[in-house]
Copies of this chain bind each other. A is one copy, B any other.
Amino acid sequence: MRVSYDELKSELKRVLISRGFEPEAAEIGASIIADNSRDGVPSHGLNRFPAIVKFIDEGAINPHRHPVKLNGVGALEQWDGQLGFGPINASIAMDRAIELAGQYGLGCVALKNTNHWLRGGTYGLRAADAGCIGICMTNTFPNMPPWGGTEKRIGNNPFIIAIPQKSGEHVLLDMAQSQFSFGKLQTYSLAGKKLPVTGGYDKDGNLTDDPNAILDGGEVLPTDMQVRIMRMLI
């Protein structure tokens, strides 16, 4: 079944409004999710929506809350996301960083009490659209062994650098620090495909290219610097 972008976005928006979002916030959230699927990043788009709805219903995402500034010193600010929707919180934080960069040449916003922002590249491109170099990071829990290790001690946190181009075809680096993000493992799993290269260990500690074996009690491998540099058409 093929669903048009407009239909997908309007359905996502309808559901977000039904869960308590204001129409404007629902428009932003639905756009980010639909754009990620449209832009060839299915691992961080529509596939996450059932979990998002579940998190709203469980209270882990609060559709009524908006981020507030806690503290600031010049170009550096701390914000509290108040458990609002991650992609909206991250968009507001990046917009504020862009504003600070306009004022000070640089801007940095740290955000706490938030949740999964989906594709990190969204916010890098948001900076690039505003003519800024965007650098974005999040934390995560220790879900990966360091190279040569077997115990999960470090995170596979995403790392994003976006560099604006006048043409609008910005340069974007958007990578997990694992060989494959967990979203990418799920994409291969859903497609019934093996990974193109070894991606981690199975639960018995054997290297494997089977995404299910990694997801089912195994461990991801750290990235081999096979960075995925994408030139994206906005």
Contacts and interface: CB of A to CB of B under 8 A. Distances in A.
B74 A104 contact: yes
A143 to B, nearest CB: 16
Interface of A: 72-77, 103-108, 146-148, 222-226
Contact of A147 (B106, B107, B108, B224): B224
B225 A105 contact: no
Number of copies: 2
A5 B34 CA distance: 63
A interface secondary structure, majority: loop
Contacts of A108: 105-106
Contact of A103 (B74, B103, B146, B224): B74
A148 B108 CA distance: 35
A63 to B, nearest CB: 32
Contacts of A148: 226
